[in-house]
Amino acid sequence: MAVNIERYKEVVAELLKQNITLVAVSKTKPNQDISDLYNSGQRDFGENYVQELVDKHAVLPSDIRWHFIGHLQTNKAKYIAPFVHLIHGVDSFKLLKEINKQAARCGRVIDCLLQVHIAQEETKFGMDEAELKEVQTNMSSLPNVQISGLMGMASLSDDPEMVRSEFRNLKSIYDRYCKWTTDREQWTILSMGMSSDYRIAIEEGSTMVRIGSLLFGSRQ
Ligand SMILES: *Cc1c(COP(=O)(O)O)cnc(C)c1O
């Protein structure tokens, strides 16, 4: 199935009015689909797998801002460090330390979001508030990473009120940390919302949505 340009334009118009950034999630999708969206103006793309991201980055236009939204294994940070725009799912200090090391080798400061566990499901990655605080306390030792905000995924649920309350919880954590952290002016991104729940996420304060199947069609 090809990318749906008409729907893309509708979504962009809807998000633009509210000043929300769209990350087009292109994992498993062919380069042609990405080029089609690129030619319609999209620049922010999200990928979940390191090798796939590296391959796509090598051949697609160099002004694409690549977001890594998957679970990053520590030993793979080095492959994306030279070019990645924003790493969404950082869920341990160990990983941050490795990103910092690889960023330093590239002479970069890499923007990261800390992933918070908000869903009911045990399987979703992310930190709790105590771990968040712990990480923030140690950030001054990592000059080559910048925490720009938080990311979270709601439960895969048919119950919109449950999804809403999870997003609301993440937003309240975000607000508490904005007040608490020493580099609060850097905290500008709350990445929450996917194809099925992005409208609820925006109502609850999202500033960045990650949308895949709505634009590209369903994945295998
Ligand atoms: C795949 C994925 C998305 C996009 O999901 P859709 O339901 O296709 O919009 C968003 N965020 C993360 C972390 C993902 O892994």
Name the residue among 84, 81, 76, 18 with its Cα closest to residue 47. 84
Name the residue among 2, 85, 1, 8 with its Cα closest to residue 40. 8
Cβ atoms of 187 and 181 closer than 8 Å: yes
Q: Please check whether residue 205 lies inside any domain of the structure.
A: no
Instruction: Name the pLDDT band for 167 (thresholds 50, 70, 90).
Output: very high
Does the structure show a pLDDT above 70 at 155? yes
Q: Residue 149 is part of which domain span?
A: 26-189
Does the structure show a pLDDT above 70 at 154? yes
The CATH number covering residue 86 comes to 3.20.20.10
pLDDT digits (tens, 9 = 90+) for 45-68: 999 999 999 999 999 999 999 999
Residue 107 CA to ligand 1 center (angstroms) comes to 30
Give the integer Cα–Cα distance in Å for 144 and 155: 32
Does the structure show a pLDDT above 80 at 211? yes
Dmax over CA atoms of the chain, in Å, equals 47
Q: Please check whether residue 197 lies inside any domain of the structure.
A: no
Q: Please check whether residue 126 lies inside any domain of the structure.
A: yes
Instruction: Name the pLDDT band for 187 (thresholds 50, 70, 90).
Output: confident
Q: Please check whether residue 11 lies inside any domain of the structure.
A: no
Cβ atoms of 26 and 45 closer than 8 Å: yes
Q: Which residue has the tokens 């080095």?
A: 78
Does the structure show a pLDDT above 90 at 164? yes
Does the structure show a pLDDT above 90 at 147? yes
Q: How many domains does the chain have?
A: 1
Q: Please check whether residue 216 lies inside any domain of the structure.
A: no
Q: Please check whether residue 18 lies inside any domain of the structure.
A: no
Q: Which atom belonging to ligand 1 lies closest to the Cα atom of 195?
A: 9
Q: Please check whether residue 219 lies inside any domain of the structure.
A: no
Summary mean pLDDT of the chain: 94
Give the integer Cα–Cα distance in Å for 210 and 204: 15
pLDDT at position 216 is 97
Q: Which atom belonging to ligand 1 lies closest to the Cα atom of 88?
A: 13
Q: Please check whether residue 212 lies inside any domain of the structure.
A: no
Contacts of 104 (CB under 8 A, 6+ apart): 143, 144
Instruction: Name the pLDDT band for 81 (thresholds 50, 70, 90).
Output: very high
Give the integer Cα–Cα distance in Å for 208 and 18: 11
Residue 215 CA to ligand 1 center (angstroms) comes to 11
